[in-house]
Amino acid sequence: MAPPNQSTHPVPIDIQAEDVKRYFQLSGGKLIVNGTVLLSEVPNNVSLSSFSSICHSSAAPPSLFERVLSTSHRGAFIGFSKEAPFDRLINSLGSFTDRNFVSIFRFKTWWSTMWVGSSGSDIQMETQWVLLDVPELRSYALILPLIEGKFRSALHPGDDGHVMICAESGSTQVSTSSFNAIAYVHISDNPYNLMKEAYSAARVHLNSFRLLEEKTVPALVDKFGWCTWDAFYLTVDPVGVWHGVKDFVEGGITPRFLIIDDGWQSINLDGENPHEDAKNLVLGGTQMTARLYRFEECEKFRRYKAGTLLGPNAPSFDPKRPKMLIAKAIELEQAEKARDKEIQAGVGDLSEINSKIEVLKQELTEMIGDENSASGPTPTGGGCGSCSCKASDYGFKAFTQDLRTKFKGLDDVYVWQALCGAWGGVRPGATHLYSKVIPVKVSPGLDGTMTDLAVVKIVEGGIGLVHPDQATDFYDSMHSYLSKVGIAGVKVDVIHVSSLSPLFDTNFLLINTTEL
Burial of 492 (0-12, 13-18, 19+ CB in 10 A): exposed
CA distance 156 to 164: 5
Cα atoms in the Cβ-side hemisphere of radius 13 Å centred on 468: 8
* Residue 312, pLDDT score: 86
How many C-beta neighbours within 10 Å does residue 63 have?
Answer: 8
Element (H, E) at 414: strand 412-418
* Residue 9, pLDDT score: 52
234 φψ region: left (φ > 0), alpha (ψ -120 to 50), beta (else): alpha
* Residue 168, pLDDT score: 93
* Residue 377, pLDDT score: 40
pLDDT in single tens digits along all 516 residues of the chain: 444 444 455 444 343 444 545 688 999 999 999 999 999 999 999 999 999 899 988 889 999 999 999 999 999 999 999 999 999 999 999 999 999 999 999 998 888 999 999 999 999 999 999 999 999 999 999 999 999 999 999 999 999 999 999 999 988 899 999 999 999 999 999 999 999 999 999 999 999 999 999 999 888 889 999 999 999 999 999 999 999 999 999 999 999 999 999 999 999 999 999 999 998 889 888 889 999 999 999 999 999 999 999 988 899 899 899 999 999 999 998 998 899 899 989 988 899 999 999 999 999 989 887 444 433 343 344 444 444 556 679 999 999 999 999 999 999 999 999 999 999 999 999 999 999 999 888 888 888 888 888 888 888 899 999 999 999 999 999 999 999 999 999 999 988 777 664 433 333 333 333 334
CA 140 to chain centre: 30
pLDDT digits (tens, 9 = 90+) for 484-516: 999 999 999 988 777 664 433 333 333 333 334
* Residue 500, pLDDT score: 62
3-state helix, strand, coil in the chain (%, to 5): 35, 25, 40
C-alpha torsion 373→379→380→382, nearest 10? -140
**Cα end-to-end distance, the chain, whole Å:** 16
Beta carbons within 8 Å of 379's beta carbon, 6+ residues apart:
238, 239, 303, 304, 305, 308, 309, 315
* Residue 389, pLDDT score: 57
How many C-beta neighbours within 10 Å does residue 271 have?
Answer: 6
What are residue 264's DSSP bridge partners?
A: none
Helix axes 351-368, 320-344, angle to 10 degrees: 160
Helix axes 238-250, 395-406, angle to 10 degrees: 10
- The dihedral sign for the CA sequence 217, 218, 222, 225: negative
CA 413 to chain centre: 21
* Residue 469, pLDDT score: 93
What are residue 185's DSSP bridge partners?
A: 76, 143
